Amino acid sequence: MKIVHFISSVTYGGIEQHVHELSLDQKVNNEVIIICTHMIKPFFEKDFNVYAVKNFSRNNIFYILKLLLVLRKINADIVHTHGSKTTSIFIKLRQFINVSHVATLHNIKKNMTPYNKSKYVIAVSNQITKGLDTKYSVISNWINFNHENISESIKQEDHAIAVGRLEKAKGFDLLIKSWINIKRNLYIYGDGSQIQYLRDLINKLNLDDKIFIKDPLTHKEILKEYIKAKVLIISSLNEGGPRVALEALALGTPVLSTNVGHMNSIFPKEFLAEPDDEDSLRSFLEQYVDSIDDINQQSIYKYVREEFNLQSQSKKIMSIYNEING
């Protein structure tokens, strides 16, 4: 089967890694082609044939026609779009090209129109399916590494960590405000538009000796940081995954999270904080962060390693391709 993955991102993050890992697994028995922006082309071109477009716009007829020519040249069996923009663009093109289409919904969206115009949608968690009015399946994110190989010879330290883009949706401002009475240090790994605001907030609350914003790391480096940490904190207001939780749990690192994405399929609801609720997050963290050594999540580590692996999820996605390709 000839498969095209279509993404419009300008930076390489969680969704792009999702596409990369899925494509590598599919590549074993299929031909996989990536259509993306020039900015992320270098991440994919060593593994795949890549068609890079300078600018993706829902309304720029020049780029839409250029994409149509590219798709006709490829002559794929499946076009798999990731995100609202690529899904919207493909919806405009599909009357001019005969190819099966599936769209992945990675996050909560206010406007579901592009997805509802799709014939089949894959959502990465149940929580983000509200408003979907088309055929869909829930196939969660996955982990894709050998936890035993990574964890060898890495010594655990005594701090907590948080990882992600420094944007409002990640709730790092609420996390910082909730850390006032916590004894453990917190390392936040990431970059984004809120970096100066968050640094100023840390300074304003006199938390400079406990909370440290650190530069983003490569995926391989951040896996090691999970192992060093006593606990991973997720303070997101909304999430599709979150993928970082799966990775930390698979490596045996406890997770304390808001009730976002598929977290309520892993933890009981009473062991999750309410999203976008500073009081709930503060109370939750004050109860558990400094006493995390007393909490046993061994059964959860085992469950995540068994249920959230790339091969099983990729197989489900290939089944959908076969179904819609008829």
Q: What secondary structure does DSSP assign to 20-77, as a single string? A: HHHHHHHHTTSEEEEEEETTTHHHHTTTSEEEEES---SS-HHHHHHHHHHHHHHT-S
* Cα 239 from Cα 257, distance rounded (Å): 11
Angle, in degrees to the nearest 10, between helices 84-93 and 61-74: 80
* Domain range 147-307, CATH architecture: 3-Layer(aba) Sandwich (3.40)
Type of residue numbered 61: I
Predicted confidence (pLDDT) at residue 147 exceeds the cutoff of 70: no
The answer to whether the CB of 260 falls within 8 A of the CB of 242 is yes
Q: What is the pLDDT of residues 206-246, one digit of tens each?
A: 999 999 999 999 888 999 999 999 999 999 998 887 889 99
Predicted confidence (pLDDT) at residue 71 exceeds the cutoff of 80: yes
| Confidence (pLDDT) at 151 | 60
| Confidence (pLDDT) at 220 | 86
Q: How confident is the model at residue 66 (pLDDT cuts 50, 70, 90)?
A: confident
* Cα 108 from Cα 130, distance rounded (Å): 8
Type of residue numbered 197: Y
Residue labelled with tokens 């004050």: 286
State mean pLDDT over 22-41.
Answer: 96
pTM: 0.82
Which residues of the chain does CATH 3.40.50.2000 include? 2-142+309-325, 147-307
Residue 153: other Cβ atoms inside 10 A: 6
* Cα 298 from Cα 248, distance rounded (Å): 12
Predicted confidence (pLDDT) at residue 150 exceeds the cutoff of 80: no
170: its two tokens: 């990640």
Q: Which fold is adopted by the domain 2-142+309-325?
A: Rossmann fold (3.40.50)
Angle, in degrees to the nearest 10, between helices 243-250 and 14-27: 70
Q: What is the pLDDT of residues 267-312, one digit of tens each?
A: 998 899 999 999 999 999 999 999 999 999 999 999 998 888 899 9
Type of residue numbered 311: Q
Q: What is the pLDDT of residues 184-210, one digit of tens each?
A: 999 999 999 999 999 999 999 999 999
The answer to whether the CB of 260 falls within 8 A of the CB of 244 is no
